[in-house]
Structure formats: C-alpha cells, structure tokens
Structure 1
Amino acid sequence: MKRRLFLQFPLIASALIADAKNPPVNRPNKGFKVEADKDRYQEELLLMGGKFTCKVSSKDTDGDLLIYHTIRQSKGGPAFHVHHSQDEWFYVISGEFIVKVGDDTFNLKPGDSAFAPRTVPHAFAKISEEEAQMLVLFQPAGLMEDFFHQLSKVGADVPQNQEKTLKELWAKHGMEIVGPPLKF
C-alpha cells in the first residue's frame, strides 16, 4: 500500500509542476496605472453607502485577485455574510471602520487592516463622521466583480420588498447573508 502511494506521488507532483509552468492565457503582458479616484475600466459603482472604483480587475488576474477602493460618506456597511470561496482583506486609508470576523471585532483606523478568511462570517461598517476610504481585496476574485455590478443595478439602498432578490443575488455569487449589518 505504501509502495503504491510512493510510486504515485512523483507522477502527481510532476503533473502539478508542469501545470504551474503554463502561463495564464488572459493576463495582460504589461503593467498598468489607475489614477486616484478613477476606475480601471471607467465603471464607477455607487452602492452600499459608498462609491466603489476597481483598481485591479479579475480580468487582469485570470480571476486570482480583485481590488476595490471605496469612498464612503454614509455610516454603516453590508450585512453579516460569508464568502464560500474568497478571502477578503480590508485596509483603511482614512476615517474609521469596525470589522467583525467571526466572533472578533476590530476597530480600524488609517493604516490598519483586517483579514476575513473564506467561510468565516464577517462584515464591516464605517463609524466615523467624516468621509472614509478603504481598500477591499478579494482572493481569488471569483464572481465578486460581477456581484458588485449586479448589486449596483438593484440600487444603493435596497427596499424591503427586494430583500428576497438581494439574498438570491448574494447566493448566485457564492455568498450567504447570515445576519444583519453591524450595530455601532
């Protein structure tokens, strides 16, 4: 039994190494710049109390990474939720946020960051009076970019009669709402 595993391992390992050497087919072959307050594809989104601009698109990374910059005027944030396939990272540029990951709650100020592993419920909320800015990173990108575009079509503030539509949208994109937005 162990001999069989011993003989199979080199075959599996060599296949994985060979696959890792194959370059991604859809990645750009040169760098790019996205200016401050600009979106990678000039598709600024207004949703969840803020303006979202894409800085690195899932199209740029074959779905490996997605980075949004959000400028938020309104207090609050999304519902407590789970990403089944993405890790999420938050980095505060200005203002103050709270981020809850599982049972832990973090107060974030400029320069602070928080990490939410996939499958762990989490949410964030802007708590400062002044405008606040944050970078939000998803790895892998999965369907998150499409989710933000679809959510922006539903509207910035979802009426009660659209709650079912909203939950279906989250589920379609590999997420689940597991609680209300954070109270602060």
Structure 2
Amino acid sequence: MTAQEAPHPLPLALLRGPGEGERIDVAGVEHFFRLTAEHTAGRFAFEEFTLAPGIVGARPHVHHGHDEYFYVLEGELTLHNGEGEVTAGPGALLAAVRGTPHGFRNAGSRTARALCLYTPAGYEGYFREVHRAVAAGAEVTDELLAEFRSRYRTTSVDRR
C-alpha cells in the first residue's frame, strides 16, 4: 500500500510548537504528551517524560494491546525487563513490545528525560485516570495502578 492509498491520511501539518501538548503529572513522573490519539486518529501517541533521581517511572507490567518505544535524551533509565535490569543512557533506544514485562526507574543521580512512542495510541488515558484519582486524594498503590491498567489491556507483574 502506498502513502497515497493509505486510509484516512493524516494532515502534513501535524506539528506542535514548543510547549504545546498535554502535561500530566503522575506519581513523580512529568508526562508531556505532544501527540495523543485525538491528533493521530489513534495510530500512535508521543510523549516526553521526566523523572527525578530515585523516582520509579513504572512498576513492572505487561501491555497486551500496544507497544512502547523509549529513547533516552538525558540522564539514565534503569529498565526492568522481566528477568533483570539494564541501565540505558542518552541515545539508547529501547522497545517494550506487547507481551513483554517491563518497568523503569531513575536509579541515577541526575534527572532523566526520555521520549516514548505508544503504538497504537490510547494508553495516555491511563495516565489521565491515575492523575485524576490522585488529584482527588487517592494514594498510588499497586492495587490502584492494577485497577487502572486493566482498563487498558495491561496487567501488573508480581514483584515477589
């Protein structure tokens, strides 16, 4: 299929200026969604996120409906891959495809900043729901995260 034959083509002007996007702070992670399902007809979502030293970005989990690709811009991310951990610095590109256990944290001494591509889009709704719950006074617990994840075809991984 050529680009001319692609169904529902996206406009070529799908560009956002600096600072444009949706900011969602969840449990110490600053998510800055530059593009969401609403902008890409559900094809993908694209975010920049920031983690201070010592912050857990995501407890171990498995996505059953989308893939995630991480690109580290600054600092280091320590990624759990279901069997162990790997530390990735600037320029590293990592994939968490459907069915792959993963999680990440900033075990370093500097703030970490990375990009994440979600395909297809939709998981940004998870962050919106957790943010709303926390803003309403809920405590971030494994049970709370598991409840919201289940709405997005994602399961938590037992860390025992």
TM-score normalised by length of structure 1: 0.74
Q: How much has 1:93 moved relative to structure 2?
A: 0.6
Alignment match, 2:30: 51
Matching residue within 131, 135, 140 for 1:152: 131
- Runs of 4+ that moved beyond 3 A: 162-165
Alignment match, 1:61: 40
| Distance across 2 between alignment mates of 1:102 and 1:49 | 23
What are the Cα deviations for residues 51-74 of structure 1, in whole angstroms up to 9, with x where unaligned?
Answer: 111122222221111111011124
Any conservation in 2 of the 1:82–1:120 contact (CA below 8 Å)?
Answer: yes
Q: Give identity over the alignment, percent.
A: 24
Alignment match, 1:31: 14
Q: 5+ unaligned residues in a row in structure 2: which ranges?
A: none
| Distance across 2 between alignment mates of 1:62 and 1:46 | 24
Alignment match, 2:51: 72
2:74 is the counterpart of 1:94: yes
Any conservation in 2 of the 1:50–1:74 contact (CA below 8 Å)?
Answer: no
The secondary structure found in structure 2 opposite 1:110 is: coil
The farther-off stretch of 143-152 and 68-77 is: 68-77
Cα distance, 1:180–1:48 mapped onto 2, change above 3 Å: farther
Q: 1:166 is aligned with what amino acid? A: L
Q: 5+ unaligned residues in a row in structure 1: which ranges?
A: 1-16
Alignment match, 1:179: 158
Q: How much has 1:171 moved relative to structure 2?
A: 0.1
| Distance across 1 between alignment mates of 2:83 and 2:94 | 13
Question: RMSD across aligned C-alpha pairs, in angstroms?
Answer: 2.6
Q: How much has 1:104 moved relative to structure 2?
A: 5.1
Matching residue within 102, 121, 127 for 2:101: 121
Q: How much has 1:103 moved relative to structure 2?
A: 2.4
What are the Cα deviations for residues 13-64 of structure 1, in whole angstroms up to 9, with x where unaligned?
Answer: xxxx6xx935227x445231231xx242xx3111131211112222222111
Any conservation in 2 of the 1:106–1:114 contact (CA below 8 Å)?
Answer: no
